[in-house]
């Protein structure tokens, strides 16, 4: 069952988002330029056309059906920004031989242009391939130290000839010394792709800790809090929880999943955890309000506090803070942006309606 939401935001809102290259509208609509016959993402960096020369579509398929071609710059058909084949091959090679150093000559021998690879990693991971590779090796060293490997051996296994160089790189990457890392909880992270733009997922051994859109303004502050307040050492990597949320998110956006089963771990105050638990009780395809949640907690005057805890939720979509609306029915603030919130509510509502139609 594939669910497609066809309701577009107001025309003036889409024009503004297009002109300002607002990434919060990724996946919410596409812009098609009549004078060029090309369609783009709203955040495309190409020169913006005159609004009167643009028409808007809810889906890339609609643009193609109308005779438009995909923009070569923003690649709107790559709705989830999936890694191209040449990147996937390289990532598999890195997984197979994690200690291997990759020089530009080796990359060229594999048919990979180093500058092209650098640009792709900067766009999708926020760092160059070589920086990502170093951080990944340090993450493996972190895992070894926690399992009892000596710091000397961890440094050597990571390819460092100097112990002091390893210590400096380790502390710069993880904001903690290798010695203290032995008693710290590693928090592995990976980048996920969704129709609404890239997300970052973080998980430790007990469960998923963070799932946020990469352009969320509070993301840096949230990660720093996990490091400084909760003692996590953040490193790139994979575990079963990250693999599970990637599968479940794909099913959710396809309209085939209405309840997540990935294990969660939610560091926070007792009150915040109570609010987050109430958020998870809001049924798929339904909404609630801050006042209703406060009343269910036995604190009818705590709507403001509930709203604050709601804003501190680190698990977008899975802990569905997007299902909380204003008492007057308006869309209230959402960390991922109100356009994404509206998209998620339309997605869920469409899935519920289709299920009801099929039941008759």
Q: Which residues of 71-101 are buried (b: 16+ CB within 10 A; e: fewer)?
A: beebebeebbbebeebbeebeeebeeeeeee
Contact 175, 168 (CB under 8 A): no
Cα atoms in the Cβ-side hemisphere of radius 13 Å centred on 32: 20
d(CA 321, CA 318): 9
Which carries the bigger pLDDT value, residue 280 or residue 110? 280
Catalytic residue among 44, 63, 71, 321: 321
**pLDDT score, position 4:** 43
Fold of 81-182: Arc Repressor Mutant, subunit A (1.10.10)
Q: Give residue for tokens 């002091």.
A: 164
- 287-329 pLDDT tens trace: 999 999 999 999 988 889 999 999 999 999 999 999 999 888 8
321 is catalytic: yes
List the one residue out of 306, 293, 284, 249 whose CA is nearest residue 354: 284
The H-assigned helical ranges of 158-216 are 163-174, 178-181
Query: In the chain, what is the greatest distance between 2 CA atoms, to the nearest angstrom?
Result: 70
Q: Give residue for tokens 């603030």.
A: 333
Are the folds of 81-182 and 261-359 the same?
yes
pLDDT at 151 over 80: no
- Residue-range domain boundaries for the chain: 11-70, 81-182, 261-359
pLDDT at 332 over 70: yes
Beta bridge partners of 208: 203, 264
CATH number of 11-70: 3.40.10.10
CATH number of 261-359: 1.10.10.10
């Amino acid at each position: 069952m594939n669910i497609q939401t066809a309701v577009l935001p107001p025309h003036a809102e889409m024009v503004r988002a297009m002109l300002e290259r607002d990434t919060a509208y990724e996946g919410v609509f596409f812009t098609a330029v009549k004078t060029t016959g090309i369609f783009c993402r709203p955040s495309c960096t190409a020169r913006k056309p005159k609004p009167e020369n643009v028409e808007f579509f809810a889906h890339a398929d609609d643009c193609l059906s109308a005779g438009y071609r995909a923009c070569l710059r923003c690649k709107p058909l790559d709705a989830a920004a999936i890694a191209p084949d040449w990147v996937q091959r390289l990532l598999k090679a890195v997984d197979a031989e994690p200690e291997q150093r990759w020089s530009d000559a080796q990359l060229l021998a594999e048919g990979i242009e180093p500058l092209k690879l650098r640009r792709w990693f900067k766009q999708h991971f926020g760092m160059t391939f070589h920086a990502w590779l170093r951080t990944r090796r340090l993450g493996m060293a972190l895992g070894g130290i926690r399992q009892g490997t000596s710091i000397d051996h961890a440094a050597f296994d990571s390819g460092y000839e100097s112990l002091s160089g390893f210590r400096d790189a380790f502390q710069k990457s993880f904001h903690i010394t290798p010695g203290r890392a032995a008693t710290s909880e590693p928090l592995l992270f990976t980048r996920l792709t969704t129709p609404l733009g890239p997300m970052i997922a973080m998980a430790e051994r007990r469960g998923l800790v963070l799932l946020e859109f990469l352009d969320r303004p509070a993301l840096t502050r949230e990660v720093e809090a996990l490091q400084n307040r909760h003692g996590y050492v953040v490193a790139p990597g994979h575990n079963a929880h990250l693999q599970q949320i990637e599968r479940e998110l794909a099913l959710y956006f396809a309209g085939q999943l209405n309840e997540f089963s990935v294990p969660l771990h939610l560091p926070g105050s007792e009150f915040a955890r109570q609010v987050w638990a109430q958020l998870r009780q809001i049924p798929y395809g339904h909404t609630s309000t801050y006042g209703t949640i406060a009343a269910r907690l036995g604190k009818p005057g705590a709507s403001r506090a509930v709203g604050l805890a709601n804003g501190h939720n680190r698990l977008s979509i899975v802990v569905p803070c997007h299902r909380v609306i204003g008492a007057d029915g308006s869309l209230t603030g959402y960390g991922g942006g109100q356009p994404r919130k509206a998209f998620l509510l339309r997605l869920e509502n469409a899935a519920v309606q289709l299920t009801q139609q099929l039941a008759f």
